[in-house]
Structure 1
Amino acid sequence: MIDFQSGYILRPANPIFVYFSLFCALLLNLLPIGNYGWVPDWLIICIVFWNIHQHRYVGVIIAFILGLLMDVHNSDLLGLHAFSYSLIAYLAISWHRRIIALSVLTQALHLLPIFLLVSLFPVIAHWLLSGEIYWWALTGAIQALIEALLWPLATRILLSPQRRPIDVDHNRPI
């Protein structure tokens, strides 16, 4: 895989690192910070990232299972996060060729509608099921904006193990 911004040939992703980063993102989501609009959904950032960069390791099934775990944690409607995470995983996999060739800031702009979809999907589902809309839950748009702003940092952190050279040779151009 090639990092299109720097032209650097990336090392293969270690599956242990991929699943460890998903586990760390799940633990960050499980922190008792609260469900405020300014708290990003770390797990969806990680799921979207790995579905764009290494969709063979993380797919729709993994996203569905992690969504079920988040449904149980939030004691929300069972399947609400599971459906939205799996839908987002599918969209990220289908867009991965287009998004990976863009710069990191342009990637964040292209992923903003995906983050908006996953943050506003529970609001829409509750509105359709109960007939009432929770206006305070529309702060998910702020959450999606923060997730899009965190995308360059997540890209930098999650691609860093793949950027390390195996052995440093100052005479070799690559």
Structure 2
Amino acid sequence: MSLRNYSIALSIIIALVLQIMPMPAMVDLYRPDWVMLVLSYWVLALPNRVNVGVAFITGLFLDILVGTSIGIHSFGLCLTIYVLAANYQRLRNYSVWQQAIVIGLLNALYNLVIFWLQHLLTDIYFLFDYLWPVASAMVMWPWIFWLLRKVRRQLRLH
């Protein structure tokens, strides 16, 4: 087996590692949702290979790694990836900057769904700081898009 067969799974594993990698508190506040960004790219590029099922399984792994209640990140990822997968043909025609705005809106939805679920299960309260990852995800989207598109083209993934 070659790297070509495992490149999508490897990119998702790298995103999971980036999601849990320790960072200073000031920087951690702005950490983008790497898993959501990587899944978003693969859903736009290869919707027949990456879909809501992959988002569900990845969300379960993220729940285990982060230590939240099982299903919180799964539900948030499934919801946002479903919206993205339902509109992938339209979003493919947008420029990368327009896609960054859409990814930012979906990331805001993802973060708000996770907050809402955690609020139902625990007694956390909303802080505006929960939405900083939305801004950083919008800034990171063109770079993630460029990097993963380069990988996809070099490995000739279809």
What is the CA deviation profile of residues 8-56 of structure 1, one whole-angstrom value per residue up to 9, with x for unaligned ones?
A: xxxxxx4422221111111111212378330111111001110111111
| Contact 2:55/2:78 (<8 A) preserved | yes
Identical columns (%):
25
| Contact 1:51/1:92 (<8 A) preserved | yes
Q: Offset at 1:102?
A: 0.8
Give the Cα separation in 1 of the matches to 2:117 and 2:20: 22
Q: Does 1:135 align with 2:126?
A: yes
Q: Does 1:117 align with 2:113?
A: no
Higher helix share goes to which structure? 2
Q: Which residue of 2 aligns with 1:83?
A: 75
TM-score scaled to structure 2, two decimals? 0.85
Give the Cα separation in 2 of the matches to 1:59 and 1:154: 18
Q: Which has the larger radius of gyration?
A: 1
Residue in structure 1 matching 2:37, options 36, 39, 45:
45
Q: Which residue of 2 aligns with 1:6?
A: none
Change in CA separation of 1:85 and 1:165 when aligned onto 2, cut-off 3 Å: closer
1:19-58 map, 5 Å: 19-33=9-23, 36-58=28-50
What is the total number of aligned residue pairs between the two structures?
151
Structure 1 residue runs of 5 or longer lacking an equivalent are 1-13, 167-174
| Contact 2:55/2:81 (<8 A) preserved | yes
